[in-house]
Structure formats: C-alpha cells, structure tokens
Amino acid sequence: MTYKISVIVCTYNRAKYIRTALESLENQNLKKSLYEIVIINNNSTDKTELICKKFIKDFKNLNIEYFCEKKQGLSFARNKGISLSKGEIITFIDDDAIACENYLEILFNFFKKNINVKAIGGKIYPIYESKEPKWISKFLLPMFAALDMGNKIKKFPHNKFPIGANMSFRKEMFEKYGLFDTNLGRKANNLGGSEEKDFFYRLDRKKDLIFYLPEASVEHTISNNRLTENYIKKQAQGIGISESFRYKKNNKFLYFLGNEFIKWIASFVLFLWFLFCFQLSKATMILKFRYWVYTGIGKKYDDV
C-alpha cells in the first residue's frame, strides 16, 4: 500500500520518551489511511523495544513498520527508514519530540499546494525537564535542536536548514541526491552530526525549494543529562569532527578553517557583550563551546 506520508522515528535508548513521541503521532488529525509510522530501533539496550512493541499492540488502527537496524548510527537508521517507507513524503521527528495534533495535516496540505517545495522544516520548541540553565543563550539553542524563525512561512536562507527533530522531504529528493552519509551523524554515544547539513547542501536551492513552516511544530524534550558540561563538550567536539570531515570530503577544508576563524571572532564579540550585560555564565559558555569545537577539528571520535 502507498501512503501520502511516512513518519520515520529513529530511536536509541529512549525508553523514557519514545511512547510519548509515538502517541503524538497517533493523535493526529490527518486520516490514519494517509500516513504510516516507521520505527527504526538502532540497537537500544534499554526497554525501548518492549515499549515500541507494546505501542504497536495497543494501536492496531495505525499503519506501523518496525525494524531493528544493526548497523550503529543515526544515518544508518534514517537510511533504513527511507528504504522501508511507502510514502510520497518522508517526515523525520526525534524519539523525544512531541508533534502538535495537526502536524501531519499541515505538512500534507502545504506539500500538496506547493509542488516546487521539496523540503520543509517546522518550529521546534525546547522543553526542559527541569529549568533552562542560565548559561544558555539563543546562539547555542541549535545544539538542542531548537528552531524558531518567527511565525511567518518563508524560504530558508541559503545558509540555514531544517533540523532533524522536525524535517520533511519529498521522497524523490533521496532518489535524486542519495541518502545520508553514514560517516556522519551520531553513533550510539558518539555525538557526531552534520549529516543533515551534508544532505541539504546537495540540493539545488534554485529549484528545490526549502520552506520554514512554523505551524508544523514539535516540542523537543531536553533531558537533564544533555545540560551537563561534559555532554556539551562531547557534542561540541563532535561538531568539530563532523564538520571538518564534511568540508574535507568536498575539498573545502581551507574554507572551513576560514569560517571557523570568523566564528572565533564572533564568539569573542559575544563574550564581551555578555560580560557587559553582567551575564558571566553565558559569556563563559560561548568561549568554551567554540574551544571544544576547535579541539575536535581533524580528529576521530576515539581521539576525544
């Protein structure tokens, strides 16, 4: 059977959150016959599998495909999800995200009315398990898969892209440009990235329009362990590793180094601004983050 939308949920050790994420997909306004849920379990070692199978048993009215991807890595999991999907539209949400009840309906209608739109990213609200730390500034929010470009529908600027916790594509994009690079992205506890950016840069931005659709929103849970300094350090180093690899494979490493130099200057400016505003924790974290990214450049995950 062919569906209009395939929602891919890749999961790794999210027993605490996965049920809520899946229930938000069951609670959609869109007709159940128009979409399927594709769950890809990437070798979870907790109770994620039991919870997913219990959900499938509880909601037999849903069209659900469940698969355990043995190759470790988010890119492997996403690619498997794409290969199993039967929908014309591929939607990704994170295993700790909660979709608004008209999420799929909004995506379906927008893609239907705008045939030149090839990808969509929606608003992502960060939901903290406790309270937002004082050191978080809007400049670091993308680390937590948060996205807010306002309340108006618009094209993404050339240097901005949807975020993996809430992004959708016409399936033909993967048939035309290939899948996610399995050298990039998270692998178990290695906090890599850049696989999404790598894919978006393959698109022809003049023909393949990418739109920001704020009403197609999700809430993204930010667990307490993701707010520790050690986690932020690992994630920043993962960015350095992934981005340097991505630029090297495209023969643009010198451009990457120049871009990093500019980011260092911007970080110092922000550091001074936050100091001027008596926000020492924000000022300090901005520089720490930039330094940690620097320490990951050119390295492998086992080196940090």
Residues 200 and 166 in one domain: yes
Beta strands in the chain (DSSP E): 3-11, 35-41, 64-68, 87-93, 97-99, 117-128, 154-155, 166-170, 209-222
Q: How far apart are CA 199 and CA 10, in angstroms?
A: 17
Residues 112 and 255 in one domain: no
Strands 209-222 and 154-155 turn out to be antiparallel
Residues 13 and 145 in one domain: yes
Residues 185 and 260 in one domain: no
How many domains is the chain partitioned into structurally? 2
Query: Tell me, what's the pLDDT at 247?
Result: 87
Q: How far apart are CA 281 and CA 245, in angstroms?
A: 31
- Rounded to an integer, the average pLDDT of 267-281 is 95
Q: How far apart are CA 292 and CA 257, in angstroms?
A: 15
Residues 95 and 237 in one domain: no
Query: Tell me, what's the pLDDT at 210?
Result: 96
- Given a cut of 70, is residue 239 above it in pLDDT? yes
Percentage of the chain exceeding pLDDT 90: 78
| pLDDT band per the 50, 70, 90 thresholds, residue 186 | confident
Q: How far apart are CA 210 and CA 168, in angstroms?
A: 10
Residues 107 and 246 in one domain: no
Ranges 17-31, 49-63, 181-195, 253-267: which has the least confidence? 181-195
Query: Tell me, what's the pLDDT at 158?
Result: 84
Residues 296 and 162 in one domain: no
225, containing H or E segment: none
| pLDDT band per the 50, 70, 90 thresholds, residue 223 | very high
| Closest C-alpha among 78, 85, 79, 4 to residue 38 | 85
Residues 105 and 14 in one domain: yes
| pLDDT band per the 50, 70, 90 thresholds, residue 299 | confident
Domain extent, residue 273, equals 229-303
Question: What tens digit of pLDDT does each residue of 118-155 get?
Answer: 999 999 999 999 888 899 998 998 888 899 999 999 99
Residue that has been written with the tokens 């993404």 in this structure: 156
Residues 11 and 131 in one domain: yes
Q: Single out the residue in 186, 212, 227 at which a domain terminates.
A: 227
- Rounded to an integer, the average pLDDT of 210-229 is 95
DSSP letter, residue 187: B
C-alpha count within 13 angstroms, C-beta hemisphere, residue 40: 26
- Which residues, other chains included, contact 289 with Cβ-Cβ below 8 Å and sequence gap of 6+? 140, 143, 232, 236, 267
- Rounded to an integer, the average pLDDT of 182-200 is 87
Question: What tens digit of pLDDT does each residue of 50-70 get?
Answer: 999 999 999 999 999 999 999
* Average pLDDT along the chain: 93
- Rounded to an integer, the average pLDDT of 104-119 is 96
For Cα atoms 206, 212, 216, give the angle at the middle one, nearest 5 degrees: 140
Residues 195 and 120 in one domain: yes
| CA separation, residue 279 to residues 136, 275, 303 (Å) | 10, 6, 33
- Rounded to an integer, the average pLDDT of 277-284 is 95
| pLDDT band per the 50, 70, 90 thresholds, residue 1 | low
Do residues 118 and 89 make contact, with C-beta atoms less than 8 angstroms apart?
no
Residues 248 and 212 in one domain: no
- Rounded to an integer, the average pLDDT of 70-78 is 96
Do residues 113 and 127 make contact, with C-beta atoms less than 8 angstroms apart?
no
Percentage of the chain exceeding pLDDT 70: 98
Query: Tell me, what's the pLDDT at 301?
Result: 64
Q: Rounded to two decimals, what is the model's pTM?
A: 0.92
Transcribe 75-127 into DSSP letters: HHHHHHHHHH--EEEEEEE-TTEEE-TTHHHHHHHHHHH-TTEEEEEEEEEEE
Number of residues in the chain: 304
Q: Single out the residue in 208, 227, 246 at which a domain terminates.
A: 227
Q: How far apart are CA 2 and CA 36, in angstroms?
A: 9
Assign residue 146 the CATH number of its domain: 3.90.550.10
Residues 238 and 256 in one domain: yes
